[in-house]
């Protein structure tokens, strides 16, 4: 909640209380009404209008109108029958309680501050892969198109940071939360006023001749936008981070000509192995194609402030959920040095496991599921009923998980790391967790605070890439840390050693 909207809510409550309990004293009402009007003006100028505060707006303006009528028309004091006064007071109080609830459910959050010393610049690219047909488009002959936003170390930044939500008018019409919970999109309009910490097309920092490149992949049906703070944090520490919108697997991707694509891949089928592999192959190809394009950027064939600034001998990849699986699958590309999977189950896993630096960071729930399969856990009938599953379905799923476990075990035995974060759920790995505390109540996010979850994920992501892309750091990967007690190292469970 923002300062002036809180003060406006309290001011509206104060106006109602004065009107109800100080009937014969006009001075407090006059002072409270003027104060409320000033707070309303300041709030609208500094913070901006949002529909959640409709009732405080109405109450403040209603008292202002009555005050002006009293002053300029010399009317008698505002009086009304006791019953009507009590009814209006009750209705007003209820509306303010509802306002408080809406402010809690739809908080105006701030993105976490980058922890590095460098400023952050950003640029967005539109890439078209003329060598690939778009298999999810309804129009025959369409080529695969991608929007890729890059964050990089910057200097001499000017103006205001770029909005957190670019193309907000189009993007927010398709916003995940409003679609999922059937919330009118007007309730999400305030998000257009949230700022990032990045400056568009800023000058590239001269603190280094070139910077390692990291490819970031969003979760299934999400958006690159909801991983902004992770990209900004890495950029502030001297990395170039390119985040891909995997077209038709996002809730909204806005192109330069104002076209907006939405989800076309099937959310019901994505759990089926054959379809998952089909979509996964498209994502993997997206990443390799993007790497090809940044080779062109670096050589100057694509104009950019990043020309010659990319160290393409040091490339990392990471992502969340399906984007984590994509990061693992594309890490077979010899151009990629190291990668991270944030809470993503794998696809295309019928091949030899990966043998290069890799780290899996799971939510507590996801690790529990993998661990149960590893220990050959047998679900009771009551547990199956609570899960809404059958023993046949669990047995089928278990076969796929066991194949994935072979990859985890190989990574663990070859110097990789497997961790989980206590108190987390699947959506604690991105900005979606900041949108509403409702997510915690429906167990999309865990008990851990969004700020703390982001801080931990960013710290371990940075330490991992520092170790393998910059040959420094890596201390957090040595084992449990008093600073991060929520992080549990479970690598030894996958190597066969005693945990």
Instruction: Identify the pLDDT of residue 19.
Output: 80
pLDDT at 495: 86
Residue where a domain terminates, one of 76, 105, 134: 105
Q: Which domain holds residue 11?
A: 3-105
Q: Rounded to whole angstroms, how far apart are CA atoms 406 and 384?
A: 25
Q: Which of 56, 72, 105 is where one domain is finished?
A: 105
Residue 259 falls inside a structural domain: yes
* Domain presence at residue 111: no
Clarify whether residues 90 and 202 are in a common domain: no
- Do the Cβ atoms of 254 and 147 come closer than 8 Å? yes
Answer yes or no: do 338 and 403 share one domain.
yes
**Whether residue 231 sits in one domain with residue 83:** no
Q: Tens place of pLDDT for every residue, the chain, 499 residues?
A: 789 999 999 999 999 888 877 766 678 888 999 999 999 999 999 998 899 999 999 999 998 988 888 777 655 555 656 767 778 888 999 999 999 999 998 999 999 999 999 999 999 999 999 999 999 998 888 999 999 999 999 999 999 999 999 888 899 888 877 777 777 878 888 899 899 999 999 999 999 999 999 999 999 999 999 999 999 999 999 999 999 999 999 999 999 998 999 999 999 999 899 999 999 999 999 999 999 999 999 999 999 999 999 999 999 999 999 999 999 999 999 999 999 999 999 999 999 999 999 999 999 999 999 999 999 999 899 888 888 889 888 888 899 899 999 999 999 999 999 999 999 999 999 999 999 998 898 888 999 999 999 999 999 999 999 999 999 999 999 999 999 999 999 999 998 765 4
Which candidate, 347, 394, 352, places its Cα nearest to that of 373? 394
* Residues linked to residue 244 through DSSP beta bridges, in sequence order: 148, 217
CB atoms within 10 A of CB 374: 15
How many domains is the chain built from? 2
What pLDDT is stored for residue 387 in this prediction?
Answer: 84
Query: Within this chain, do residues 169 and 296 fall inside the same structural domain, yes or no?
Result: yes
Instruction: Quote the crossing angle between the two packed helices 54-72 and 3-21, to the nearest 10°.
Output: 50
Could you tell me the CATH number of the domain that includes residue 236? 3.40.50.1820
Q: For residues 308 and 193, state if they share a domain.
A: yes
- The verdict on 99 and 158 lying in the same domain is no
Place of tokens 């979606």: 432
Is there a single domain that holds both residue 15 and residue 136?
A: no
48, 71, 105: which is the final residue of a domain?
Answer: 105
In total, the chain counts a number of residues equal to 499
C-alpha 265/C-alpha 235 separation (Å) is 31
Residues 480 and 396 in one domain: yes
Say whether both 370 and 445 belong to one domain: yes
d(CA 362, CA 359): 10
Q: Are residues 59 and 129 in the same domain?
A: no
Residue 385 shares a structural domain with residue 456? yes
101 in any annotated domain: yes
Question: Residue 110 domain-assigned?
Answer: no
Hey, is 181 helix, strand or coil? coil
Residues with Cβ within 8 Å of residue 218, at least 6 apart in sequence:
224, 226, 227, 243, 244, 245, 246, 250, 319, 320, 323, 430
């Amino acid at each position: 909640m923002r300062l002036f909207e809180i003060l406006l809510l309290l001011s509206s409550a104060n106006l109602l209380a004065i009107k109800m309990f100080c009937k014969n004293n006009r001075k407090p009402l006059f002072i409270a009404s003027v104060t409320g009007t000033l707070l309303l003006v300041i709030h609208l100028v500094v913070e901006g209008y949002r529909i959640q505060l409709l009732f405080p707006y109405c109450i403040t303006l209603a008292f202002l109108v009555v005050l002006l009528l009293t002053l300029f028309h010399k009317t008698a004091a505002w009086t009304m029958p006791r019953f009507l006064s009590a009814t209006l007071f009750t209705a007003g109080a209820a509306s303010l309680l509802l306002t408080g609830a809406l402010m809690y459910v739809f908080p105006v959050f701030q993105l976490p501050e980058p922890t590095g010393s460098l400023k952050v610049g950003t640029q967005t690219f539109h890439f078209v892969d003329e060598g690939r047909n778009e298999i999810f488009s309804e129009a025959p002959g369409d080529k695969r198109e991608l929007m890729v936003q890059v964050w990089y170390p910057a200097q001499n930044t000017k103006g205001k940071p770029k909005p957190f939500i670019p193309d907000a008018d189009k993007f927010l019409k398709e916003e995940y939360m409003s679609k999922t919970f059937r919330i009118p999109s007007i309730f999400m309009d305030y998000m257009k006023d949230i700022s990032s910490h990045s400056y568009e097309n800023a000058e590239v920092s001269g603190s280094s001749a070139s910077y390692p490149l990291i490819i970031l992949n969003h979760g299934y049906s999400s958006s690159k936008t909801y991983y902004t703070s992770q990209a900004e944090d890495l950029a502030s520490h001297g990395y170039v981070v390119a985040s891909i919108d995997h077209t038709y697997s996002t809730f909204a991707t806005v192109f330069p000509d104002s076209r907006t694509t939405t989800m076309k891949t099937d959310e019901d089928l994505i759990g089926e192995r054959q379809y998952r592999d089909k979509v996964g192959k498209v994502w993997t190809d997206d990443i390799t194609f993007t790497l090809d394009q940044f080779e062109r950027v670096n050589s100057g064939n694509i104009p950019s402030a990043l020309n010659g600034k990319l160290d393409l001998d040091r490339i990392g990849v990471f992502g969340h959920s399906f984007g984590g699986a994509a990061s693992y699958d594309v890490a077979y590309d010899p151009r990629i040095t190291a990668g991270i999977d944030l809470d993503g189950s794998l696809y295309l896993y019928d091949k030899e496991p990966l043998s290069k630096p890799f780290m899996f960071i799971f939510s507590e729930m996801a690790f529990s599921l993998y661990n149960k399969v590893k220990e050959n856990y047998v679900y009771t009938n009551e547990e199956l009923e609570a899960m809404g599953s059958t023993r046949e379905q669990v047995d089928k799923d278990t076969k796929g998980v066991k194949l994935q476990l072979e990859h985890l075990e190989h990574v663990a035995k070859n110097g990789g790391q497997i961790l989980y974060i206590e108190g987390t759920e699947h959506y604690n790995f991105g900005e979606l967790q900041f949108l509403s505390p409702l997510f915690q109540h429906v167990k999309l996010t865990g008990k851990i605070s969004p700020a703390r979850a982001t801080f931990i994920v960013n710290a371990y992501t940075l330490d991992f890439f520092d170790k393998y892309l910059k040959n420094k750091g890596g201390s957090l990967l040595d084992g449990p840390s008093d600073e991060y007690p929520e992080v549990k190292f479970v690598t030894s469970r996958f190597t066969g050693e005693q945990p």
